[in-house]
Amino acid sequence: MKKCTKCKQWKDESEFYKDHVTKDGSAPWCKECKSEYNRSYYKNHHVKKMSENKKCPVYLGIYINERILKHVMPNAVLMNYANPGFDLVCGKGYLVDAKSSVLHHRKNQGPYWMFGINKNKTPDYFLLTAYTDRESLNIDHMWLIPGDVINDKTIVGLSLSTIHKWDDYKIDHTAALNCVNQIKASA
């Protein structure tokens, strides 16, 4: 038995992470306290940095898209950032994984958007948002694609020359543009 220095409770040694730096070989805080601390720290520090750092890899995917989704789908239940497999449950109970990409430019080929699907079999749908760039936050296209259409892919690349293949899944993104305009006005 060992006493957690955070919650002051006596717990079995299996309730502590290993820590080779300490004399007894286990961390001073129990797993429960350490997990709670990590969640709190992440919520209070990481998300704030994303909102301030447009170059952060998940700035569009988390900070901007989450605000858009709350605006466009008010009945949706958003999951925590670290939720595996999907980002929200829509009002009809479908699991949706939201992805975003900015327009990439290649020297010898045309511009394209690249979405990381990672062979994710969990969501019923993927919501793909294509931005012109990070600075303007202009949304060029949005698609709602059934999971079984693309969940076997690691990456989905959409170029201007092949974009017409996805017309069946294109959705009106006027409400999303209105939300982005509100975000830009408040910045």
pLDDT tens column, 6-65: 999 999 999 999 988 888 999 999 999 999 998 887 776 655 555 566 776 677 777 788
Q: Where in the chain is the domain with CATH 3.40.1350?
A: 53-186
Query: pTM for the full model?
Result: 0.69
> Which tokens in the block code for residue 136?
């303007």
Average pLDDT over residues 177-185: 79
Residue 58 identity (one-letter amino acid): V
What is the structure's pLDDT at 73? 79
Q: How high is the pLDDT of residue 178? A: 82
How confident is the model at residue 8, as a pLDDT?
Answer: 97
pLDDT at 57: 63
Does domain 53-186 correspond to CATH entry 2.60.120?
A: no
Q: What is the pLDDT of residues 52-93, one digit of tens each?
A: 667 766 777 777 887 788 777 778 888 877 778 888 888 888
- CB under 8 Å to 51, separation ≥6 — which residues? 59, 63
Residue at 35: amino acid letter: S
- Identify the pLDDT of residue 64: 81
Does the structure show a pLDDT above 90 at 5?
A: yes
Answer yes or no: are the C-beta atoms of 129 and 68 closer than 8 Å: yes
| Beta bridge pairs of residue 100 | 129
